[in-house]
């Protein structure tokens, strides 16, 4: 085993954001368990540390990349665009150095880069190494991004401003409506379209790995596979296949003790992930509705998630009072452990893809309040396709909040949702087990690497791989 491990190295390039770091580190663990060595090449901002969890991984930093203050000044979308502009050359140096240093038994099998780190494609192409795109969202969102990459920005903007159009089904993407498409709250539409057209362009990659499973979205996966010219490997959910705790923020474990004191399936867990923002008025309506529902709630309020406030100090006194009756607040929770806790009955989520997979993986139905991007796609699927969630749309009002909580926790409807999510949880577990679809997909990917199949498809050796644009 050890000898095999020395022979092949995989280079991972994560986006420096929690929702991207988590699955790529899980992928690293899964590939490590198959006998590969892992090198993570990351930016200066939001670095994963070589903690005991990853003591066998090798970490390198791309010099001169952006910092936390750049993120604050630029905002997530411009930050990403700038990162892609400035990192290409230094990443090439990093990879070149790694190639020079590698021994005969430590050769790089491939570079796996997050789809949003598209600057990473150039270096492996130059060094004639196989590269693989890693998509941390799902196939449906990928298909949507491809559609958006081709829209005319001016016409689309006019359409999206028309409330009647917003509610219409988007042609060819049933059951998604115009308003469910993964547009971004983090910047102008033109920039988003530019980023999407880069992201869906698989360039010289030999394959696309996706953190999803066929039991969740077989038709979108089939569509993606038909329309991309490279093999798509759905190997998710990775958190079932490989545990790789990689929290970038400190987890407050006191909430587990608080959960221990609550009745089974009574608590609503609220978390909006690592980037979403909340308006004060929405938080107040949430607190009022939750309080009226009489259910206990555990609420993650991330520092910086309320505009113009360090943490919760800008919220009115009423908020504190409402929360103190039945609620518990933390800055960051051990989410997997919380979802697994028997006291948790529902998850109020922004519907990031990791949170969605984690909630389904623990059989917890959801209240969906998407904020941006693919979260809207996921929320629609949670409510309409998998029917394990209640989506709150439009203005947040305490009455609708209270109703949603009661539907999820109290009603027969909630019990039906719970049954369906447990059924889906079992399907996900089966797909990750030996013989399951995601398990086999990972095996196929690993076999292709071990038999050098991807290397054979490298640009210099095959004309097939010359820069290709997604034809979605």
Interaction site with ligand UDP (CB under 6 A): 18-19, 22, 247, 271, 273-276, 300, 332-333, 335-336, 352-355, 358
Strand extents, DSSP E, 322-392: 327-330, 344-349, 366-368, 389-391
Closest to ligand UDP by CB, 220 or 335: 335
Closest to ligand UDP by CB, 129 or 259: 259
Single out the residue of 174, 176, 322, 339 nearest to residue 256, CA to CA: 339
Task: State the nearest-atom distance from the C-beta of 332 to ligand UDP, in Å.
Answer: 4
- Residue 316: partners with Cβ closer than 8 Å, 6 or more residues away: 280, 284
Task: State the nearest-atom distance from the C-beta of 351 to ligand UDP, in Å.
Answer: 8
Task: State the nearest-atom distance from the C-beta of 18 to ligand UDP, in Å.
Answer: 5
Closest to ligand UDP by CB, 98 or 286: 286
d(CA 95, CA 127): 9
Enclosing H/E stretch for 269: strand 267-271
φ, ψ at 339 (rounded to 5°):
-65, -30
Residue with tokens 């399936």: 265
Closest to ligand UDP by CB, 36 or 54: 54
Number of C-beta neighbours around residue 74 at 10 A: 17
Task: State the nearest-atom distance from the C-beta of 20 to ligand UDP, in Å.
Answer: 7
Closest to ligand UDP by CB, 146 or 274: 274
Closest to ligand UDP by CB, 211 or 262: 211
- Residue 32: partners with Cβ closer than 8 Å, 6 or more residues away: 5, 38, 56, 57
Task: State the nearest-atom distance from the C-beta of 299 to ligand UDP, in Å.
Answer: 10
Long-range CB contact pairs, 51-58, < 8 A, 24+ = 53/244, 53/245, 53/246, 54/25, 54/28, 54/244, 54/246, 56/32, 57/28, 57/32
Closest to ligand UDP by CB, 331 or 456: 331
d(CA 125, CA 468): 13
SS3 310: coil
Half-sphere exposure of 326 (CA within 13 A, CB side): 18
Task: State the nearest-atom distance from the C-beta of 105 to ligand UDP, in Å.
Answer: 35
Task: State the nearest-atom distance from the C-beta of 153 to ligand UDP, in Å.
Answer: 24
Task: State the nearest-atom distance from the C-beta of 450 to ligand UDP, in Å.
Answer: 29
Single out the residue of 141, 140, 151 nearest to residue 194, CA to CA: 151
Q: Report which residue's Cβ sits closest to ligand UDP.
A: 19
φ, ψ at 109 (rounded to 5°):
-80, -40
Q: Are 209 and 161 in contact (CB under 8 A)?
A: no
Task: State the nearest-atom distance from the C-beta of 333 to ligand UDP, in Å.
Answer: 4
Closest to ligand UDP by CB, 247 or 444: 247
Closest to ligand UDP by CB, 95 or 117: 117
Task: State the nearest-atom distance from the C-beta of 349 to ligand UDP, in Å.
Answer: 7
φ, ψ at 131 (rounded to 5°):
-130, 155
Closest to ligand UDP by CB, 331 or 407: 331
- Residue 130: partners with Cβ closer than 8 Å, 6 or more residues away: 109, 110, 111, 124, 206, 449, 454, 455, 457, 458
């Amino acid at each position: 085993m050890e000898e095999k491990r020395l022979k092949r190295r995989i280079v991972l390039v994560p986006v420096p954001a929690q929702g991207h770091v988590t699955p790529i580190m899980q992928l690293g663990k899964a590939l490590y368990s198959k006998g590969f060595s892992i090198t993570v090449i990351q930016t200066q901002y939001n670095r994963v540390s070589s903690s005991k969890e990853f003591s066998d991984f090798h970490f390198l930093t791309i010099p001169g990349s952006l910092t936390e203050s750049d993120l604050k000044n630029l905002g997530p979308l411009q930050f990403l665009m700038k990162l892609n502009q400035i990192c290409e050359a230094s990443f090439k140096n990093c990879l070149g150095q790694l190639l020079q240093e590698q021994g005969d038994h430590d050769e790089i099998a491939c570079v796996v880069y997050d789809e949003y780190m598209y600057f990473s494609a150039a270096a492996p192409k130059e060094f004639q190494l196989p590269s693989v795109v890693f998509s941390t969202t799902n196939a449906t969102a990928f298909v949507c991004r491809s559609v958006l990459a081709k829209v005319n920005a001016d016409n689309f903007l006019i359409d999206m401003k028309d409330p009647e159009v917003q509610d219409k089904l988007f042609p060819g993407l049933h059951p998604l409506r115009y308003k469910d498409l993964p547009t971004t709250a983090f910047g102008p539409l033109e920039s988003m379209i530019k980023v999407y057209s880069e992201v869906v362009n698989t360039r010289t990659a030999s394959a696309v790995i996706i953190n999803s499973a066929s039991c969740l979205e077989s038709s979108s996966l089939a569509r993606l596979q038909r329309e991309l010219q490279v093999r798509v490997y759905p190997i998710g959910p990775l958190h079932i296949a490989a545990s790789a705790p990689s929290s970038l923020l400190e987890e407050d474990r006191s909430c587990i003790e608080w959960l221990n004191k609550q009745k089974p399936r009574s608590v609503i867990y609220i978390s909006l992930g690592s980037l979403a923002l909340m308006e004060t008025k929405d938080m107040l309506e949430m607190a009022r509705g939750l309080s009226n529902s009489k259910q206990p709630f555990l609420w993650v309020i991330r520092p910086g998630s309320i505009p113009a406030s360090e943490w919760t100090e800008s919220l009115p006194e009423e908020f504190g009072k409402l929360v103190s009756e039945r609620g518990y607040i933390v800055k960051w929770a051990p989410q997997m452990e919380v979802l697994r806790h028997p006291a948790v009955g529902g998850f109020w989520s922004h519907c990031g893809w990791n949170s969605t997979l984690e909630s389904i993986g623990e059989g917890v139905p959801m209240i969906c309040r998407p904020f941006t991007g693919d979260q809207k796609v996921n929320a629609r699927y949670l409510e309409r396709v998998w029917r394990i969630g209640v989506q709150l749309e439009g203005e947040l009002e305490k009455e609708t909040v209270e109703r949603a909580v009661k539907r999820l926790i109290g009603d027969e409807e909630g019990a039906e949702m719970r049954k369906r999510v447990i059924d889906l949880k079992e399907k996900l577990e089966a797909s990750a087990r030996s013989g399951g679809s995601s398990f086999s997909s990972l095996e196929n990917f690993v076999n292709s690497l071990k038999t050098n199949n991807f290397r054979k498809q490298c640009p210099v050796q095959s004309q097939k791989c010359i820069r290709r644009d997604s034809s979605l």
